[in-house]
Amino acid sequence: LKQGIVIKVKNGNYYIDDNRVSSRQLVYSLRKIMAQQDPQNIPFLIVEADKSSNFDNLSPIMIAGSTAGFDKFKFAVIQGSSQ
């Protein structure tokens, strides 16, 4: 999964660069990241979620990502057991 900004969802918590981010901080954090990107080459927003994640966990990411200016999303399932 190249050329992307990764958000991980584990046990209902959000992580960007291994830093826990609350759902309320998602838009701010993603806007900060987006401000550092080349507007001609906007990266994918890659959502890595564990198997226990449901739409209620993913929806805030999609809304925050769209609000921050991301228009391409990729989704991946984290394999293995939850920690």
Reported as a single tens digit per residue, the pLDDT across 27-59 is 999 999 999 998 888 899 999 998 888 889 999
- Averaged pLDDT for residues 3-19: 92
What was the pLDDT predicted at 83? 47
What number does CATH give the domain 4-78? 3.30.420.270
Q: Please write down the long-range contacts of 28-33, taking CB distance under 8 Å and 24 or more positions apart.
A: 30/5, 30/64, 30/65, 30/67, 30/68, 30/70, 31/67, 31/68, 31/69, 33/5, 33/68
pTM of the model: 0.84
For the chain, the structural domain boundaries read: 4-78
pLDDT at 1 over 70: no
